Structure 1
Amino acid sequence: MKVTVDGIPLDLPAGTSGIDAVFAAGRDVPYFCAHSYLSPVGACRMCLVEAGTPRKGKDGELEKDENGEVKIFYFPKPMASCTMQATEGMHIKTAATSEVVAKSQAGMMEFTLINHPLDCPTCDKGGACELQDRAFEYGYGASRFGFDRRHADKHYPLSDFVILDQERCIHCKRCVRYFEEVPGQEVLDFIERGGHTFIDTQEGGLPTGFSGNITDICPVGALLDNVARFRGRNWEYDHTPTTCTLCPVGCAITVDARNGRLERIVGRENRDVNEMWICDAGRFGHSFASEGRLTRPLIREDGKLREADWDEAMAAMNRGLAGVHPSHLGLFVAADSTLEEGVALERLAAQLGTGNVDHWPRYAAQLTAPTATLTDVAQADAVVVIGADLGEEAPVVELRILEALRGGILPTEFDHGTAIADLRLTERPARTPEKLAVIGRESGLWRHAGIRAASNGHNAVARLLRPDTDELRAALALLEGAKQPVVILGADVLGSGTEALAAQVSELASRTGAKVLAIPAGANSAGLAALGLLPRDGAAGYAGLGDAPAAFLSRLDPVGQGLGLPRGFTVVHDTHLTETAKRADVVLPAVTNYEKRGTTVNLEGRFLALEQAALEAGEGADLIRTLTALAGALGVRPGVRGLKSAQAALHERLGVRVDGLPERGALNLNVTRAAAPAGVPYTPQLWKPRMRPVTREGETWVERTRQLVEEKWALPMYVPQPVQPGGDD
């Protein structure tokens, strides 16, 4: 359709909102209540424009003026452009060309500021506040009201994570709509009327899981992250866009650091992955990155660990590994290590001739069914979740499922970005629970599911193929009757170690036409498995760690997991003094994934970039540099010496260029089905992946954080739980 904005002709798709038409023309209009992933409501009345359309006469032809031009009939008053649909032939005037619009927007800004407190010098949002910016751009510049402002509760805790300042609230309703429309929790609303209106929750608290997102979308300083509160002003932070690796989703985040400390995590938009939402664990669980860190190497002398430098640590490794044949050395890394670190480990293992390499945690199953993307999940007309507690394993996947239940409407994308106001999104959207079936143990998705079936994880897929209950028959019929079905598999299924699982999943996919999304055990399990970082030549791998004559472990804590230590010389590379590190012969300081440059592969096979935040790590080193030091101690040349050579090796190994990835990442579905090298046996998964325990000052980080989070913040924490392969949960 043809639309004209300030004299600029545009060709826009039907259904485009007025505000997106304005931005498509390169013009600007202020707004507070509109948000790309929420329904437009026109609450703030700041996006006012003059709008007019042509009119047909009695003869069916468009009316024309005395000059023979099509006559435009303007509406009598300015209209909110976020709730107005642009139509064929519409003309829109913004403040750039209309004094009426400019005066109307200035008046609305004046009304908004009538009761707003003068907190800018002490407000955490100062310097990043939409109200500050728009008041400067569109306000009068001076107040005509000399009376005392309205006073309300300040620093009022909605939860232990989120603080509300009711005086600063401008009633944009973003937070209310977020809870109703995204996680499907009606917990916030307006209370009272008129000048007494305020936001609150009747239950006296916010549900954990995704509550922190309201601090990102609040346009003012009314809702603040209590973990990062008063830690710094916005212009004092070093803002680093990167990828979260606390779970396999790979959410886009921004790491805010100040004076070498990680102070805040905020969500960042990636339409294809997390849209712009992140879970509370990813937002608030970052304190370990700046507390109790190992900053120097440690070597054991006279039975005790002492601080040393890297030269002394290399000398200690040289002495300790002198009697160990290189092919007997075990090399084990955490499953959230980057691809660059993984290929460096692979090349070093080849130099040493050892097949005892592994990443952990990981699953035994290797699936060949078609892989579903997160967009497939959001637009599916049937979703069956089997053996997964997504709140623990991949929280944002739960939000994409809820998106499917409310119609799978994904906001349109324009040249100026995601649609600011997609008119297809509505308040309090109707959900269709009959599109969702959950099979397994009770989880957070149960209350949204139309079909719920309790089942043991290890045989759930087999039972679904040959259903023996009404619930399972209904779930199978749901898949068979859908056009775009998706099956999601979690830890209870993938961790069972069942050899027949891959065949069962393939049969289910071919029978129903479903795509499969398997939740990996670690943030980069899919990528490391594609590199072949698995035990080979009969090696026991990480599960048989106790039989290794010597081992190098990077950010793994087998003692804390109950697996014990190798019987010989042990080198530990970690960020904190874990239980394993306390018993090691050499401890090398590591960096967290917030401090790395590299690449990770998420659960759908998307290559995502990690960037290095400005955190203080002392002498901490990433795995590539640490493996270079280990190779020097062993007297061999490392196959990879730095990030650039690692990326070149990845291009040679996987056929993918990871340097200069696009902002949204690069999707390669084949990675999730990458074949293992010949002779690589898959060993059963013995531990369910949860958050990795990390020690500090004689106390595990899990114990400390559990106390801090559960007692003070009321956020549940999950730690590894031992299970038997193929056994019941």
Structure 2
Amino acid sequence: MSEIKTITLTIDGQQTTVPAGSSIMDAAKSLDIEIPHFCFHKRLSVAGNCRMCLVQVEGGPPKPTASCCFPAGDGMVVHTQSDMVKDARKGVMEFLLINHPLDCPICDQAGECDLQDISVSYGSDQSHFAEQKRAVEDKDIGPKIKTVMTRCIHCTRCIRFATEVAGVEEMGATFRGENMSVGTYVESALQSELAGNMIDLCPVGALTSKPYAFTGRNWELIKTPSVDIMDAVGSNIEVHSRAGKVMRIIPRENDEVNEEWISDTARFSYDGLYENRITSPLLKNKGKFRAIGWKKAVETLLPKLDNKKTIAGLVGDLHAVEDLFAFNAFMKTTLGSDHVDARMNGFALDGSYRPSYLFNTTIEGVDSADAVVIIGSNPRLEAPIINARIRKNVVNRQMPVYMVGAEVDLTYKYKHLGDKPENIAELYDGKSAISKELAKFEKPLIILGADTLGRSDGLGIYKEAEKLADKIGALSSNWTGLNVLHNKASAVAALDLGVYPEDKGMDLGKTLKALEKGTVDTLILYGDSTHVDAEKLKGAKFTVYIGSHRDAYAEVADLVLPVTPYTEKDAWWVNTEGRLQEAKASVAPLMNAKEDWKVFRHLSGELGKPLPFNSLEELRAHVLKKCPNYKYNNCIAPAEKWVSIAGADKLLKKSFVETVTNFYKSNEILKASKVMTECAESSLNKNKAMRKAG
């Protein structure tokens, strides 16, 4: 490996050594020297159009130069605070403010606005401008983003993000100079699943959150670190609350997971935390629910939990580690029932061998891959953040992507190789041109959709993917390139903790058949899932639903117990790569809702078989005994040696299909959100219009 060439330069009297090719701004950052800027962003291409980052270079151009795009040179001497630089910045600042309105008192960006901060620090208290300010018509770009385009300073960050990161070229600029206008070419709702990140990128108040408009100020909000659970990526987020209510959600930077982006479902779904919530226990009487107290609810439920009865438990998609452990212990230890399953998509594998169901390469590891093979998955809808990372490498490194599955728009080019399981063999047979092409790569990465492994031939598909990985060198001593991409937040933790039948218990399929026959005495529905229709869950003599939202699963129940969503409890979450992350409670439980694990602990005590923990700390100690890997908080446990999975190799002739068909309605919180409903409708209308057009 060749040595990295370096250069040494002096900035404001301080010497620094940086890699050759670095800009002056990069070098200044290494010394913690602040250079003001608007258009520059470390994850976007360099535009150099705001001119705010001017510096003076000794022996260089006679005028100040833009530090974001001027390469640092060996022996260079740079000044960032000379009189020339200060005067130039004041001039640039004055030009930027010429047409900017004095909207600060009514602008949602106030208090976290780059233009405010930089104008105070580097601008002038006077202006020479005495003409009429320009006015620009606002654009309606959908339910996510509010526009006030008169505030736009033409930094083009939003345009570059849409083009380079999101891969949906919806934003652009028309005209030039003072008449330049930023927006969509045709006024319509933004369709990217990552569009909300433009709000964070916008350095002024031109693009702000439409759902958050006029609801609060930045300095009024309590900021709590948390983890997104709208998919299985585990994006790091910050939940902002006021007066015990979630007001908005923004990203936290984590280069190993989400960089600094989050999906629109993570950002805009928080109104769903309060819509359709269950705030007290409900008991069905003559087909109608009536509110009751917890004491009455427990008294009603206890006789239905007699261990002589056939009791089955099905587990939904949005449960934290501690809650899954407590429910599993409640079912198997307290109730003595092994009829429990959290694999609501019918996932073919169990938790006996951890690498078989993880994204082993890691999310950050995508940056090291030299080719990607996607089998039965649509990362754009199942994991937009991972899809954006794949796109980054396709754009920056021309990394090739191959697809076996439904032909979909992934925001980057790929070679479509068929849509049936039998097409996988063509990739490793050594005869086809594609198999020879794949064999040349050093670090190929294979992505298997978790829902695809829920087919009746799921194990066979997995075995085929394993053969492919072995043949093309994706399973070597220094590279594990076979990955399962989950799209539900609790999927990996449920497998880790053994929330499935481990002896002779009924799995999902057998439970559904037993419900058809009417042989289930008590069915415990713990949370909601989009994988199984509520109509299939009828048939038990008594059904109890334990969840946060009153949805279709709640309606089939006889008794409903309210528990808390992710923002109302301290909890551990495990993402698709097996990374454990901690989220803190941002608000208190709503009304009579209780933390999930406390409900199971109380019920076990009432039944005379108390679970062995009374606090969250004690519960976590038991979790760590079950899953020692969880001691690696916010990092990946050491890789295990690869072991082939035994099982049948049967494959169906059936084509792969998209498993996530409505990105904005894929769990109970999203289904309850009015904003997500608007997004789903605008997406549907856009798709209809496109089909009609051609």
Distance 2:57 2:195 in 1: 38
Matched, 1:606 2:579: yes
Decide whether aligned partners of structure 1 residues 559 and 302 sit closer, same or farther in structure 2, where only a CA change above 3 A counts. Answer: farther
Distance 2:686 2:533 in 1: 20
Decide whether aligned partners of structure 1 residues 39 and 231 sit closer, same or farther in structure 2, where only a CA change above 3 A counts. Answer: same
2:272–2:669 contact (8 Å) kept in structure 1: no
**Residue matched to 1:711:** 681
Q: Equivalences for 1:104-503 in 2 at 5 Å?
A: 104-154=88-138, 156-205=139-188, 206-301=190-285, 304-321=288-305, 323-325=306-308, 328-348=310-330, 349-362=332-345, 363-365=347-349, 371-408=360-397, 432=398, 435-445=400-410, 448-456=412-420, 458-466=421-429, 473-491=432-450, 493-498=452-457, 499-503=459-463
Using the TM superposition, give the Cα deviation of residue 334 of structure 1 relative to its aligned residue in structure 2, in angstroms: 1.9
Q: Which amino acid aligns with 2:141?
A: L
Using the TM superposition, give the Cα deviation of residue 380 of structure 1 relative to its aligned residue in structure 2, in angstroms: 2.1
**Residue matched to 2:467:** 507
Distance 2:68 2:257 in 1: 26
* Cα deviation code 1:322-377 (max 9, x no counterpart): x4437x43333223311122222233323433212221434113685682222222
Aligned with 2:41 (options 35, 38, 53) = 35
Q: Which amino acid aligns with 1:199?
A: V
1:549–1:566 contact (8 Å) kept in structure 2: no
Distance 1:392 1:402 in 2: 14
Decide whether aligned partners of structure 1 residues 130 and 714 sit closer, same or farther in structure 2, where only a CA change above 3 A counts. Answer: farther
1:599–1:658 contact (8 Å) kept in structure 2: no
Using the TM superposition, give the Cα deviation of residue 634 of structure 1 relative to its aligned residue in structure 2, in angstroms: 1.9
2:244–2:587 contact (8 Å) kept in structure 1: yes
* Cα deviation code 1:109-167 (max 9, x no counterpart): 1111111000111111111111111111111133333333111113x213343232221
1:529–1:674 contact (8 Å) kept in structure 2: no
* Cα deviation code 1:638-697 (max 9, x no counterpart): 2333321222122222214559x4xxx211265998999xxxxxxxx999567456499x
For the residue of structure 2 that corresponds to 1:562, the secondary structure is: helix
Decide whether aligned partners of structure 1 residues 521 and 351 sit closer, same or farther in structure 2, where only a CA change above 3 A counts. Answer: same
Matched, 1:666 2:635: yes
For the residue of structure 1 that corresponds to 2:536, the secondary structure is: coil
1:599–1:608 contact (8 Å) kept in structure 2: yes
**Residue matched to 1:585:** 558
* Cα deviation code 1:184-213 (max 9, x no counterpart): 333322211221111122233333322222
After the TM superposition, which of the residue ranges 484-493 and 286-295 deviates more from structure 2?
484-493
Distance 2:686 2:318 in 1: 22
Decide whether aligned partners of structure 1 residues 379 and 693 sit closer, same or farther in structure 2, where only a CA change above 3 A counts. Answer: closer
For the residue of structure 1 that corresponds to 2:73, the secondary structure is: coil
For the residue of structure 1 that corresponds to 2:537, the secondary structure is: coil
Matched, 1:89 2:78: no
After the TM superposition, which of the residue ranges 256-265 and 331-340 deviates more from structure 2?
256-265
Distance 1:687 1:25 in 2: 49
Distance 1:675 1:345 in 2: 31
**Residue matched to 2:522:** 550
Distance 1:630 1:388 in 2: 40
**Residue matched to 1:421:** none
**Residue matched to 2:22:** 16
For the residue of structure 1 that corresponds to 2:377, the secondary structure is: coil
For the residue of structure 2 that corresponds to 1:271, the secondary structure is: coil
**Residue matched to 1:59:** none
Q: Which amino acid aligns with 1:518?
A: V
Decide whether aligned partners of structure 1 residues 74 and 109 sit closer, same or farther in structure 2, where only a CA change above 3 A counts. Answer: same
Decide whether aligned partners of structure 1 residues 603 and 293 sit closer, same or farther in structure 2, where only a CA change above 3 A counts. Answer: same
**Residue matched to 2:13:** 7
TM-score calculated relative to the size of structure 1: 0.82
Decide whether aligned partners of structure 1 residues 163 and 86 sit closer, same or farther in structure 2, where only a CA change above 3 A counts. Answer: same
For the residue of structure 2 that corresponds to 1:241, the secondary structure is: strand
Decide whether aligned partners of structure 1 residues 669 and 227 sit closer, same or farther in structure 2, where only a CA change above 3 A counts. Answer: farther
Using the TM superposition, give the Cα deviation of residue 713 of structure 1 relative to its aligned residue in structure 2, in angstroms: 6.4
Distance 1:207 1:552 in 2: 38
Decide whether aligned partners of structure 1 residues 197 and 672 sit closer, same or farther in structure 2, where only a CA change above 3 A counts. Answer: farther
Q: Which amino acid aligns with 1:642?
A: S
For the residue of structure 1 that corresponds to 2:25, the secondary structure is: helix
2:341–2:501 contact (8 Å) kept in structure 1: yes
After the TM superposition, which of the residue ranges 128-137 and 621-630 deviates more from structure 2?
621-630
2:257–2:364 contact (8 Å) kept in structure 1: yes
Distance 1:484 1:385 in 2: 14
Matched, 1:636 2:609: yes
Q: Equivalences for 1:556-705 in 2 at 5 Å?
A: 556=528, 560-565=533-538, 567-614=540-587, 617-657=590-630, 661=633, 665-668=634-637, 670=639, 688=659, 691-692=665-666, 694=668, 701=672
Decide whether aligned partners of structure 1 residues 131 and 577 sit closer, same or farther in structure 2, where only a CA change above 3 A counts. Answer: same
2:307–2:336 contact (8 Å) kept in structure 1: no
Matched, 1:45 2:5: no
Using the TM superposition, give the Cα deviation of residue 715 of structure 1 relative to its aligned residue in structure 2, in angstroms: 8.0
**Residue matched to 1:518:** 484
Distance 1:674 1:301 in 2: 53
**Residue matched to 1:77:** 63
Higher helix share: 2
2:569–2:588 contact (8 Å) kept in structure 1: no
Using the TM superposition, give the Cα deviation of residue 619 of structure 1 relative to its aligned residue in structure 2, in angstroms: 1.7
* Cα deviation code 1:463-516 (max 9, x no counterpart): 544499xxxx44433321112211111156322232333432222111111202
Decide whether aligned partners of structure 1 residues 695 and 210 sit closer, same or farther in structure 2, where only a CA change above 3 A counts. Answer: closer
What RMSD, in angstroms, separates the aligned Cα atoms of the two structures? 3.1
**Residue matched to 2:85:** 101
1:361–1:687 contact (8 Å) kept in structure 2: no
Distance 2:565 2:641 in 1: 25
Q: Which amino acid aligns with 1:403?
A: K
**Residue matched to 1:531:** 497
Distance 2:387 2:471 in 1: 25
Distance 2:686 2:261 in 1: 19
Q: Percentage identity across aligned positions?
A: 30
Query: Tell me, which stretches of 5 or more residues in structure 2 are unaligned?
Result: 1-6, 475-480, 646-655, 688-694
Decide whether aligned partners of structure 1 residues 259 and 463 sit closer, same or farther in structure 2, where only a CA change above 3 A counts. Answer: farther
Decide whether aligned partners of structure 1 residues 692 and 34 sit closer, same or farther in structure 2, where only a CA change above 3 A counts. Answer: closer
Using the TM superposition, give the Cα deviation of residue 536 of structure 1 relative to its aligned residue in structure 2, in angstroms: 2.3
Q: Which amino acid aligns with 2:528?
A: L
Distance 2:485 2:211 in 1: 29
Distance 2:676 2:212 in 1: 19
Distance 1:407 1:667 in 2: 26
Q: Which amino acid aligns with 1:668?
A: A
Decide whether aligned partners of structure 1 residues 671 and 119 sit closer, same or farther in structure 2, where only a CA change above 3 A counts. Answer: farther
1:527–1:600 contact (8 Å) kept in structure 2: yes
Decide whether aligned partners of structure 1 residues 302 and 236 sit closer, same or farther in structure 2, where only a CA change above 3 A counts. Answer: same
**Residue matched to 2:478:** none
1:706–1:716 contact (8 Å) kept in structure 2: no
Count matched residues: 646
Using the TM superposition, give the Cα deviation of residue 379 of structure 1 relative to its aligned residue in structure 2, in angstroms: 3.4
After the TM superposition, which of the residue ranges 257-266 and 631-640 deviates more from structure 2?
257-266
